[in-house]
Structure 1
Amino acid sequence: MALAKRIVPALDVKNGRVVKGINFLNLKDIGDPVDAAIAYQNAGADELVFLDISATLEGRSTMIDMIERVSSAVFIPLTAGGGVNDLASMRAIIKAGADKVFLNSAAVANPDLIRQGAELFGSQAIVGAIDSKWDERANRHRVYVSGGTKPTDLETTRWAQKMIQYGAGELLVTSMDTDGTKQGYDVALYQALNKVVNVPIVASGGAGDLSDFVAVFKSGRVDAALAASVFHYGEIAIPNLKQRLHHEGMVVRL
């Protein structure tokens, strides 16, 4: 029996409000995270990702009280992160009610943090988050950190493998090239990742219409598809999306 493909709305939060931008810039206020979480659960979302987008840049940890509010309001799995740079902040996020915590910039700086988290909470609770951008000159996918503002020397697929070796049980991979553009997911990126990793992959960045989800699930062979603005603005209704995926022969939780 194939595992159900998951639809995952993302809640990017800044100063206690849900926001959305294009290519990580020009943020607009969308609303209250708890209201959004409840609405998404009622619409049939399989999971939620909660990201404190300014945490790393501002050098502070994720807003724990907000995770508590969201997790107490919904029962679907919640992944949270943003500014997670030590075991204490990971513990606080899990304790606040998140099922999974994702590590991005801090894992690049200290990969052993992945191992520590996996040993304490289990690999299933540790998500390796990667912001990736195609480097035309170097002809490879490059990893970025600090909310997509700083390039690193890491190549995306190799870094993905390393995160898994350290204990990440899932990967959340955002294509900065397609993020917010609504031109479709970066299928080539996920195909490249699928050749070298065997943990669930969550695709992020680029959803514009129903066919984009079909393409990333079928051609990109990802396990979950994350999106924000198309859900926030009501451009795609999750029940309609799931019906389309079901019609296309995919296993989904209807």
Structure 2
Amino acid sequence: MEKPAYARVLLKLSGEAFAGNGTSVDVDTTTAMAHEIAQVHADGVSLAVVVGGGNIWRGKVHEAAGMERATADYMGMLATVINALALQDSLERIGVPSRVQTAIAMNAIAEPYIRRRAIRHLEKGRVVIFAAGTGNPYFTTDTTAALRSVEVGAEAILKATKVDGVYSADPFKDPSATRFTQLDYLRVLELGLEVMDSTALTLCMDNGVPIVVFDMNVPGNVRRVVFGDPIGTTVSRSTARVNGEGVTHA
């Protein structure tokens, strides 16, 4: 029987993913994401999730109007909790046990983030959803994903996006943009590609955590990535360099 390529992964979901084609939290979209996670869970893969909050709160807009950065960031952290609870509800309704852990204590609705407890939940077959970022302003949810993946021993970060990988330019604006199939961490930094912010990328590089960027909108893609199918773009330590660039193109 086919075996997964990874025993434990961390799935990074942007806040925009929860909105579907609208705003806030779209029920059908959240349900679809839950079913994608359920497929992987049924295969016995240990899975954690980090969620963003951009569908509810965009701090940069308010910062531009004069809001203090720390205040905007804390409000963004609260937005991630709403998305985490919505995803938990969708998972529980289809029979997938899950726990929400928050970096900011709010004991009435979620567990506080405790690393050893999170690992124990994963060992027991529960999906753990990490919310409220790192609990500190000035850090993105990308950095949260990198940090939590290292803390719980995830073998890869699965970054779900609306495109099928990392491109040399914005494929929606530049028809000549080419898609990378593999990239080295350092090459991502050199090219200034928007895979993850530099803090998150460096943390992954230092700890050897590969990042797989793929299109979440294609049904079954989460499972394909977990089973090692060559879709999307993989960012990792290069074992060989192609044309001195350390990358290959699709």
Q: Indicate the structure (1 or 2) with the bigger Cα radius of gyration.
A: 2
TM-score w.r.t. structure 1 length? 0.37
TM-score w.r.t. structure 2 length? 0.38
